[in-house]
Structures are given as structure tokens and as C-alpha cells.
Amino acid sequence: MRAAFSKAFGQLTDPKFQRVIWTGIGVSALVFGLLWWAVWVVITNTQVFDSWWLGWLETLLDWLGGVAVILFTWLLFPAVASVVIGLLMEVIVTAVENKHYPELPPAPGASKGTTLMSAIKLLFTMVIVNIVLLVFLLIPPVFPFVFYAANGYLLGREYFELVALRRVDLQEAKRLRRENRRQIVLAGVVVALLLTVPVVNLAAPVIGVAVMVHLFTANKTVSAG
């Protein structure tokens, strides 16, 4: 797994990687910009307390609303970024295979419908899971472990299957994922961690897909052998 991450980081300067990264930044900025604008409109046009002497409560609610937006942005960034990467995955995978595995035959590729549905499923699953995980904020020492474990599992599973479905059917993809579950989940946890680190998180989804290409290729080769 260490070699897979090393190769993924080493390819970040690839023009194709850069194109996907900047596209992801643009889409994420648009999505969260609209979210912040919507919340700002609601906050500035909603008055809960009419009495002037309760104005401090109104200010507190406005402040809490701003904090909530920042928190949700941090929690939902992995989901939004993963959808963008899912839709542009073919560019990343092709770049990795061309550089590191030129001997591979052309991949049949997953259908656009399959890729789109997988990306949407991942988005909704991660949103729901992360909303549920907010309960663990009541137990601060536990929250990071639960957050990274849950998101790492989801990211590892979905990224690996998306990559695998380009070359094998769903049954084979699931079999390979089960046989290499520990390695895939650990890689997913690392990607989830990278997604919460400022600046690094902009490239984290691309790194995640590239890592899964290396893991799939290595384990598929071993399995075939």
C-alpha cells in the first residue's frame, strides 16, 4: 500500500491529474459557495426573537448558523469531491495505467450510467452517514475514530469497485474487494484523512483513485496468476 501511495503522489504533476484536480476545485467551490449564500440569506432574513432585549440570542443563533455551515462543509467535502472524481475517474485511471502499466490491454470500461449511479450512491450514503456521525460529537475523543473509520470504509469500497468495474464484472470486483478488504479499508482511511487536511484535500480524491488502480492491478495480477 505504501508503494501505491508513493506512486500516486509522484504523479500529481501529470497534466491529466492537474486538470481533474482543478475541475474538482471549481465544482466544489461552486457547490459550497451556493450553500454558504443560501444559509447567509436565511440567517439575514430570519428573526426568531422580536424583543430588543433578546437580541443577544439572535446574534448567538446567527453565529451558530455560521459555525454549522463551516462544520457541514468540512464533513461533506469528501462526498462532493468524490462525486466529481467519480465522474472524471476515467481520466485518472487511464493516466495511471498509461504510465505504470502500459502492457495492459484496453479496458472495456464501466458504462457512464454505472459510474454516475455509483457516484450518486456514494454522495447520498456519505451525506447520511456523516449526519448520523454528528451524534458522536457529544463524545469528542471518539468522534475522529468513528469519522475516519466510516468514511474510510465507504471511500475504499466505492473507489476500488469503480476502478475494478472497468475491467471485471461486479461479482469479480466484489470478490477482489473482500479478499483485500483490510488493505482497501486502510487505504480508504488514509484518503479520508487527507480529505480533511486543508490544501492536501484538493488532491486527495485523485490520489485515492490512483491508489486503487495500483491496488487493483497488483491484486488482479496475483489473482490471475
DSSP labels, 89-132: HHHHHHHHHHHH-TTSPPP----HHHHHHHHHHHHHHHHHHHHH
Show the cell assigned to 10: 509522484
- Residues with pLDDT less than 70, the chain: 39-79, 81-82, 86, 109-112, 221-225
Task: Report the alpha-carbon distance of residue 195 to residue 201 in Å, rounded.
Answer: 4
Task: Report the alpha-carbon distance of residue 194 to residue 191 in Å, rounded.
Answer: 5
Show the cell assigned to 170: 461486479
pLDDT of res. 43: 60
Task: Report the alpha-carbon distance of residue 117 to residue 3 in Å, rounded.
Answer: 31
Name the pTM for this structure: 0.79
pLDDT of res. 68: 67
DSSP labels, 6-27: HHHHHTTTSHHHHHHHHHHHHH
Cβ of 54: how many Cβ atoms within 10 Å? 12
pLDDT of res. 225: 45
> What Cα–Cα distance (Å) separates residue 148 from each residue in 43, 85, 138?
31, 19, 16
Q: Helices (DSSP H) in the chain: which residue ranges?
A: 2-10, 15-44, 55-87, 89-100, 112-133, 143-164, 170-179, 181-194, 204-224
Q: What is the pLDDT of residues 26-56, one digit of tens each?
A: 877 787 777 777 766 666 666 555 555 555 5
pLDDT of res. 17: 92
pLDDT of res. 162: 86
